[in-house]
Amino acid sequence: MFLVLYLLLDRNVKWLKGNRAVAAIAVAAIAFAWFKIYYGLKIVTVVQGGIRETWGVLFFALGVLFKRFERYLTGKWWLALLCLAFTIVGAHEHWAGMNLTPKVKDVLTLPLTGLAGFIMVHYFATLTDRYGRVGARFLAHCGQMSLYIYIFHIAAFKVVSLLKIMYYNLEFAQIGSHMVIHDHLHDWFWIPYTIVGVGLPLLWMAVYRHCINKAKQRQAESNGE
């Protein structure tokens, strides 16, 4: 959708070329999100009424603008710390717009927290790449395995959900909650959810590839004989 809008503006509107077209799309996405949320409008054929797709178009546009002004936004430790502080406050106040029922304030807070979070992660990722070789290799490996993590993380969450059910003596039927068990939200179970949600898919794929390689090796030895 972002690409279609960009091509339409860039090719057909003389005074909206390049970054101007991108900025216009970003502003239009924010305005459309506010309009949808304020009046409670939904695209009935799209899950959650199309609000996530609207945010997606916005962040595609912000990504292009970020690349344009990257030299002003990256490599500055003080800016990264400010973004970290803002992100912490945003997390505490729950400034997010990906909820099932987004609020008008999300129109302002989500773009800001999203951009601040990205700048913060970009800075610390640069430090990790420069000074933390083990951490950089691990993160690169997670990136290469992101498809498998995405596919298996929900199943991996069920292991932690089972532990949470046992710990709080909850109904076993909550094992089917999507995606995690929401009772006792303010405990520390988000930590094992995070670790297991990434670690278990990586472990599964490591074991799977090890078995496949062993099978191929045995097959090759058998053919050689």
Return the domain boundaries, the chain.
2-131, 141-224
Confidence (pLDDT) at 101: 77
What pLDDT was estimated at residue 130?
83
Q: What is the pLDDT of residue 77?
A: 92
Q: What is the pLDDT of residues 51-80, one digit of tens each?
A: 888 999 999 999 999 999 999 988 899 999
pLDDT attached to residue 142:
92
pLDDT at 118: 93
How much is the pLDDT for 4? 93
Positions in the chain whose pLDDT score sits under 50: none
DSSP the chain: -HHHHHHHHHHH-TT--THHHHHHHHHHHHHHHHHHHHHT---TTSGGGGHHHHHHHHHHHHHHHHHHTHHHHSS-HHHHHHHHHHHHHHHHHT--S-SSS--TTHHHHHHHHHHHHHHHHHHHHHHHHHH-HHHHHHHHHHHHTHHHHHHHHHHHHHHHHHHHHHHHT--GGGGG-SSS--TTTTSSTHHHHHHHHHHHHHHHHHHHHHHHHHHHHHHHHHHH-
Task: Provide the whole-model pTM.
Answer: 0.70
Q: Which of 35, 71, 66 is nearest to 50 (CA)?
A: 35
39-43 LR contacts (CB < 8 Å, sep 24+): none
pLDDT score, position 40:
86
The whole-number pLDDT of residue 97 equals 66
